[in-house]
Amino acid sequence: MLTAATGGTFGAYDAATTGSAATANAIVQYASGYPAVGSVIELEWPCNTGIVVNPGTGGAVSVAFA
């Protein structure tokens, strides 16, 4: 589950490191201005490598994993 704490571009990736996070292994990517602050995005996907969340420049994202 991801919660947007600030507006801006961010993404979640099935990757082992931040350096390997790319469009090819993106689970979800959001453009600037979406989602609205406080939006909760629930995701279900097979995580084969790892979980990398990039909050974007100056962004903040809350992540819960269960």
Written as six digits, the tokens of 11 are 């993404």
Residue 34: which residues within 8 A CB-CB, separation 6 or more?
7
Give me the half-sphere count of Cα atoms (radius 13 Å) on the Cβ side of residue 54.
23
Convert the pLDDT of each residue in 7-62 to its tens digit. 567 888 999 998 998 989 999 887 766 667 777 888 888 888 999 988 877 777 78
Its pTM surpasses 0.85: no
Selected residue with higher pLDDT from 4 and 20: 20
Backbone angles phi, psi at 65, to 5 degrees: -125, 130
Q: How far apart are CA 28 and CA 11, in angstroms?
A: 5
